[in-house]
Structure 1
Amino acid sequence: MRVTDIFSFGGGLETLQSDYRDEYDELVKAIESNTADEVFVKRTKEASKSGKFLASPGTMNHNILIEQLHDTYGWAVDHSAGRNKSEIEEIGKEPRSIGDPECEVDISPGERYGKRTVDGWKNSCCVEIQFGKYAFMIYDVLAKFGHFQQHDKIGLGIEVLPSNNLVQDMSTGVGYYEQLEAEISHLPTDYVNEEYRIPVVGIGVGFERPSIDHNNLEAEVGVTSQQTVADF
């Protein structure tokens, strides 16, 4: 697996380059640890994709979050293997669930449903591995990351998404990189006040296209900005 796309929002690239280059490099290595034979193991009953082995969010999450970010690089992670046990076992690995307190922030102490978590956290760099429903993409960028900023837990948010190429070989309803980039670029200017915009980097991953040049991110990144009504 390779990082095939990257965009910057709210000063994300500048923040990454100045403060979180080590964390970014570790995340890239974790993503690249996924091999096709460990990813395309999901059996499907969807009529439109019958007979295909689809990309498994469970194995990708396990490899990136547990084996790499947590075990190899010492990140705090919040990951549950419950729904994907069979696919993780399919590639000969042991499903593990980890809930690290550093990935949790409560809105108020003792509030039962107030807990918020991110998938990975290190040195105030938050990562969401979003291989799920498309509605969660924009929520992560405009709500969850902002929640962590208000609790002084985040300096940069990184959203990891399948590219449009990869999502063709996943279950239906999964969001993808190009979709999030388009959604953010079409937000009105004042949808989120400038003082509350979190530095965010969006990453698209897949197998079919070559990796971006990580040594020249300025040339690779698409700078996404909110637009005004007059732009339409």
Structure 2
Amino acid sequence: MRIAAMYSFNNGKTIIELSYPDEFSEVVDIITSVDASHCRNKVSREKTMPGRLLYSPSALNKAFVAEFEKRGWIKHRVQCHYSRDFYVSDFDSLNTARGAFREIDFVKNRVGVEVQFGKYAFMVYNVCAKMTIFHNLDVIDVGIEIVPVKAFADEMSTGVSFFEQFVWDLEHRGVSDIDIPVLIIGVTDELSSPLSSS
């Protein structure tokens, strides 16, 4: 795979390149090591593209997991203990989601990475909630979110979100004082070539 775009949220790119150059270099190496051609194995059953061979988001995720784990990046999970303190006086629940947890895909040296080839809401949640939570829990200081660019998302099932959409929303949302620095990396397959320079 290759990097097609980068967006620096809350100075993420600068901070990561200056303070975490080894981790950043490793993430770039991981992206270029993923062979997306092995992940184009999903036959579409959708009405808009019946029989078309598409990239499988789950196969792409597995390929990224293999590359991150090979380099010593680990998943980090924290248990959630949900409070019952906020129920109104005439309500109580015995079912408070036992075994609930939050998990970040990969962590190494206080850099958190999420790989997202799914629905839009997960991209926003990762950057605007999950990474802040893991920072508040003293697990990470910065984040990297790896997502497809639109041209690549168009080669997957409908409903997969993409870099350009995500960046537009982050730009119009703005940065809050609780947001951590995050680098959003838009990726595509090896077949997509850079624009020729004129």
Could you tell me which runs of 5 or more consecutive residues in structure 2 were left unpaired when the two chains were aligned.
83-95
- Bigger shift: residues 8-17 or 30-39: 30-39
Q: Provide the identity percentage.
A: 36
User: Do residues 210 (structure 1) and 194 (structure 2) align?
Assistant: yes
Q: Any idea what the Cα deviations from partners look like across 1:108-167, whole Å, max 9, x if unmatched?
A: 499735411011111111111000111111111100001001101111111110011001
> Among 70, 73, 76, which residue is 1:75 paired with?
73
Question: Structure 2: how far apart are the matches of 1:111 and 1:51?
Answer: 40
CA contact (8 A) 2:36 2:60 kept: no
Residue 184 of structure 1 corresponds to: 170
Give the deviation of 1:186 after TM superposition.
0.7
The higher radius of gyration belongs to 2
TM-score (norm 1): 0.72
Could you tell me which runs of 5 or more consecutive residues in structure 1 were left unpaired when the two chains were aligned.
78-102, 212-232
How many correspondences in the alignment? 180
Residue 45 of structure 1 corresponds to: 45
User: Do residues 166 (structure 1) and 139 (structure 2) align?
Assistant: no
> Among 65, 74, 78, which residue is 1:105 paired with?
78
Residue 108 of structure 2 corresponds to: 122
Give the deviation of 1:168 after TM superposition.
0.7
Residue 31 of structure 2 corresponds to: 31
CA contact (8 A) 1:30 1:63 kept: no
Give the deviation of 1:188 after TM superposition.
5.2
> Among 168, 181, 193, which residue is 1:199 paired with?
181
The equivalences for 1:9-20 within 5 A come to: 9-20=9-20
SS of residue paired to 1:27:
helix
Question: Structure 1: how far apart are the matches of 2:15 and 2:99?
Answer: 32
User: Using a 3 Å threshold, how does the CA distance of structure 1 residues 125 and 111 change in structure 2: closer, same or farther?
Assistant: farther
